[in-house]
Amino acid sequence: MIEIKGLVKRFGALTAVDGVSFSVQRGEVLGFLGPNGAGKSTTMKMLTGYLSPTAGRVTVVGHDVEQEPIAVKERIGYLPEGAPAYPDMTPWEFLNFIAQVRGIDRARRAARIEEVASMVHLEGVMRQTIDTLSKGYKRRVGLAQAILHDPEVLVMDEPTDGLDPNQKHEVRALIQKMAPAKAIVLSTHILEEVEAVCTRAIIINRGRIVADGTPAELRARSRHHNAVSVKIRAGGAVSAEAARSELARLAGVAGAEIGPSDNGDLSLIVYPKGQGSIASEVGAHVRSRGWVVDELRVEAGRLDEVFRDITVGRGEEVRS
Amino acid sequence: MSSALRRMWAVFKRELGGYFYTPVAYVFIVIFLLLCGVFTFQLGGFFERGQADLRPFFDFHPWLYLFLVPAVSMRLWAEERKQGTLELLLTLPIPLWASVAGKFLAAWVFCGIALALTFPMWITVGYLGSPDHGVIAAAYLGSWLMAGGFLAIGSFISALTRNQVIAFVGSVVVCLGFLLAGFGPVTDFLNSWAPQVIIDAITGFSFFTRFDSISKGVLDSRDLLFFASLILVCLFGTAVMVEVKKAG
């Protein structure tokens, strides 16, 4: 549904997007991750036909965005960063304007506006001017505008920015509900959001794609992937340091660290060699030594850690 | 109706409605009518002249428009940029020319409404004497065309900035240039040293000279063509500037 090849955008001497390529199929929810200024928004602005690329091609449902901008714009629903809307209009007037532009028949217009308003829970504020609405409601107006014509491709720049946890949950539920029938691209810097809604994540840094995979694949790059954390009851015969060195000597183990502990319990994190599974080995050792275990857990890996490693690490590499 | 025209119509309706969502439209119309009255009756000596025509009314229109029309046009693009709605508008399936034209036409029709509301003047002069209605109709048309010229210039300048105050001041200055190009003292000053070709070129751009003949009831196709092409050139420039400056 979306094909992006070798996309480049330069603003004078600054290269904001530097050779980005990816494609998105129907049913996919692509999370676009990256630090501020990494080129997420610029990529989305080129995808939606707002900015012209310096080089590269964008094709949406078979239409080239440079050759047939109107055909592309008809097929995309776009929520720009900050969810802009005309502040002097009411949501009803605003959505009615969008419906006219989008070519929704007069006969179906009111019903469709009502339907979308209820999908994003705008019913109570439809006759109030947009500038009097809270940030959460404004965001929902922007979302309603983007999905009004039931587009095949939905592009959202930070759809949950500024929402409270309940509203975030609602928006994510809505995205998941729409996902099977559409190709969705959303940018975010909230990592839990990627885990919650995205089938795939792309991490972009300094205008380049530095990682592309499912959230689980990205997590597997974490040092913590398949690590085992153990909590041992305090008052036993063993000291934290002794337990650490014993566990670090196990066959499948690469190393172990002492973690923070609250009530004097020993907290340890044991890292496997080459991401192998070491839970049974660690468990067996702990049992054989007779330590009283409060908790023994296999870590899935941390997306935030992967994100930081990739974006900060690469950054320093470039600088040196 | 083709889809591009339908979308232009949607932009037009939204924009025209936009004037009336806020008190701006009402304030503008009231001030316009008030100033029209003051200029016509106080400064223009409507009654003292003892003639059944609307010359004193129309003679002040260029000066009125100089300050009031930029107040209408300043928001056209500067506001979109400031609010961030420019990105929304330009990613909707509306061709750029349709947005530019739709917005301009809305502002023009709005000025037309304000102008039409001066109809009691016409009725008054018709009641007091027997004016040449053809001349008055032509003058109304000319006045509206001139407003269109001012608006198109204002639209172009509004596309250059995100600041409405700058758009307003810039438009006033440029429109003043177009007015003064044919203003008596200025042409007299030019006469003293500039060659005739340059004087003709400069006065050719003057709103004064053009409007003067129209307001006398002379609908010269060259004057109509002048305003029409001025509007088209400025709107083309608007589209170019919107396109060029959207990244910034």
Nearest to A84 among B85, B93, B94 (CB): B85
Q: What is the greatest pairwise CA distance in chain B?
A: 59
- pLDDT tens-place string over residues B37-77: 888 877 777 777 767 677 778 888 888 899 899 999 999 99
Chain-centroid distance of CA A254 in Å reads 31
Q: Cα-Cα-Cα-Cα dihedral of A176, A181, A185, A190, to 10°?
A: 0
Nearest to A78 among B4, B10, B91 (CB): B91
Q: What's the confidence (pLDDT) of residue A320?
A: 30
Residue, of B233 and A251, whose pLDDT is higher: B233
Nearest residue of A to residue B91 by CA position?
A50
Nearest to B21 among A78, A88, A145 (CB): A88
Contacts of B91 in chain A (CB under 8 A): 48-50, 73, 76, 78, 80
- pLDDT tens-place string over residues B99-121: 999 999 999 999 999 999 999 88
Tokens 């003051």 label which residue? B38
Number of domains in chain B: 1
b/e sequence B39-55, b meaning 16+ C-beta within 10 Å: bbeeebebeeeeeebbb
Q: What's the confidence (pLDDT) of residue A235?
A: 66
Q: What's the confidence (pLDDT) of residue A225?
A: 76
Task: Determine how many CB atoms are found less than 10 A away from the CB of residue B70.
Answer: 26
Domain that holds residue B32: 3-247
**Chain A to chain B, count of Cβ pairs less than 8 Å apart?**
70
| pLDDT digits (tens), chain A, 320 positions | 999 999 999 988 888 999 999 999 999 999 998 888 888 899 999 999 999 999 999 999 999 999 999 999 999 999 999 899 999 999 999 999 999 999 998 899 999 999 999 998 898 899 999 999 988 899 999 999 999 999 999 999 999 887 888 888 888 999 999 999 999 999 987 888 888 889 999 989 888 888 888 888 877 777 777 788 888 876 666 777 777 887 778 877 878 888 777 677 778 888 888 767 888 888 888 788 778 777 888 877 777 777 777 777 544 433 33
Nearest residue of A to residue B94 by CA position?
A70
Task: Give the gyration radius of chain B's Cα atoms.
Answer: 19
Task: Determine how many CB atoms are found less than 10 A away from the CB of residue A22.
Answer: 18
Q: What's the confidence (pLDDT) of residue B43?
A: 75
Q: For residue A178, what are the contacts with CB-CB under 8 A and spacing of at least 6?
A: A147, A154, A184
Report residue A114 as tokens. 């009502």
Report residue B35 as tokens. 């100033």
ipTM above 0.90, yes or no: no
What's the burial of A36, exposed, middle or buried (CB within 10 Å: 0-12/13-18/19+)? exposed
User: What's the mean pLDDT when you consider all of chain B?
Assistant: 87
Q: What's the confidence (pLDDT) of residue A313?
A: 59
**B225 close to B145: Cβ distance less than 8 angstroms:** no
Sign of CA dihedral A56, A60, A64, A67: negative
Chain-centroid distance of CA A245 in Å reads 38
Residue, of A64 and B217, whose pLDDT is higher: A64
- pLDDT tens-place string over residues B148-201: 999 999 999 999 998 999 999 999 999 888 888 777 777 777 777 777 777 777
Phi then psi dihedrals of residue A267, to 5 deg: -125, 125
What's the burial of A305, exposed, middle or buried (CB within 10 Å: 0-12/13-18/19+)? middle
Distance from CA of B142 to the nearest CA of A (A): 33
Contacts of B87 in chain A (CB under 8 A): 45, 50, 80, 84
Nearest residue of A to residue B18 by CA position?
A88
**A167 close to A160: Cβ distance less than 8 angstroms:** yes
Q: For residue A260, what are the contacts with CB-CB under 8 A and spacing of at least 6?
A: A267
